[in-house]
Chains A and B, each alone.
Chain A
Amino acid sequence: KAGVTQTPRYLIKTRGQQVTLSCSPISGHRSVSWYQQTPGQGLQFLFEYFSETQRNKGNFPGRFSGRQFSNSRSEMNVSTLELGDSALYLCASSLRTGKEAEAFFGQGTRLTVV
């Protein structure tokens, strides 16, 4: 059974550009969550989607957005990139939503903004 797939693995962008990251969850999983990981702030929750609906959103500016498609694949977009957006972006998929739901993480996309 294939795991969570994130593409691309590495990305270099220039300040002011925008970027789109992709996440394909485990087959059958309907919940996708996104996290940002930086040395200074650690792991921070961005947002969660379930059945194409955003269920929860973290404390990030509006430049960060996401969506989920009918096949559960998800994308996140960051517009007007800033140097501080350089981070490892992790996607997690879960079979269902709820406190006991196990989250399976992808390998992440390493974004570098120059």
Chain B
Amino acid sequence: AQSVTQLGSHVSVSEGALVLLRCNYSSSVPPYLFWYVQYPNQGLQLLLKYTSAATLVKGINGFEAEFKKSETSFHLTKPSAHMSDAAEYFCAVRGLTGGGNKLTFGTGTQLKVEL
């Protein structure tokens, strides 16, 4: 079975500082990994996805993530945080053959950006 673990349910950074949100995956088959963002009372918006084409994936709003098979990680980063980045971030995996479009989500990381 596939799963993802997000380390740190809450992360706080200063505006302009580096954002690092951690995600580790567990999968018996090559995984497809996704990062989503959720603003209050909204649905999920796709930030980026890893589909084995390249290990460094660039997404929207200046976010990127690097797939590291040796560390089973797919951490999300942004060089300089902005107040508008404050939201909840979810890592998700899809890897089970025949599992259709089912996504398995991590527990989420709430990002707070302070002045």
Contact of A90 with B44 in the complex, beta carbons under 8 Å: yes
Residues of B within 8 A of A (CB): 32, 34, 36, 41-46, 49, 51, 90, 94-95, 99-108
Contact of B102 with A99 in the complex, beta carbons under 8 Å: no
Contact residue among A6, A94, A106, A107 (Cβ-Cβ distance under 8 Å from B101): A94
Contact of B44 with A33 in the complex, beta carbons under 8 Å: no
Contact of B99 with A56 in the complex, beta carbons under 8 Å: yes
Contact of B100 with A105 in the complex, beta carbons under 8 Å: no
Shortest Cβ gap from B6 to chain A (Å): 10
Q: For A55, what are the chain B residues with a Cβ–Cβ distance below 8 Å? A: 100-101
- Chain A interface residue bracket vs B: 20 to 34
A-B contact count (CB 8 A): 68
User: If A99-B95, A100-B32, A100-B51 touch, does A33 touch B108 (CB 8 Å cutoff)?
Assistant: no
Q: For A107, what are the chain B residues with a Cβ–Cβ distance below 8 Å? A: 41-43
Q: List 23 A-B contacts (CB under 8 A).
A: A6-B43, A31-B100, A31-B101, A33-B101, A33-B103, A42-B108, A43-B90, A50-B100, A55-B100, A56-B100, A56-B102, A58-B102, A90-B43, A98-B101, A99-B51, A102-B46, A103-B101, A103-B103, A104-B46, A105-B36, A105-B44, A107-B42, A107-B43
In the bound complex, how far is the Cα of B102 from the Cα of A56, in angstroms? 8
Contact of B101 with A101 in the complex, beta carbons under 8 Å: yes
In the bound complex, how far is the Cα of B90 from the Cα of A75, in angstroms? 25
Contact of B102 with A45 in the complex, beta carbons under 8 Å: yes
Annotate A84-114 by CB proximity to B: 1 below 8 A, 0 otherwise.
Answer: 0000001010100111111111111010000
In the bound complex, how far is the Cα of B90 from the Cα of A44, in angstroms? 12
Contact of A4 with B102 in the complex, beta carbons under 8 Å: no
User: If A42-B105, A43-B90 touch, does A103 touch B46 (CB 8 Å cutoff)?
Assistant: yes
Annotate A31-75 by CB proximity to B: 1 below 8 A, 0 otherwise.
Answer: 101010000001101001010000110100000000000000000
Contact of A43 with B32 in the complex, beta carbons under 8 Å: no
Contact of B43 with A108 in the complex, beta carbons under 8 Å: yes
Excluding A48-B101, A92-B44, 18 further A-B contacts by CB distance (< 8 Å) are A31-B100, A42-B107, A43-B103, A43-B105, A45-B103, A55-B101, A56-B99, A56-B100, A56-B101, A56-B102, A97-B100, A97-B101, A98-B101, A99-B94, A99-B95, A105-B45, A107-B43, A108-B42
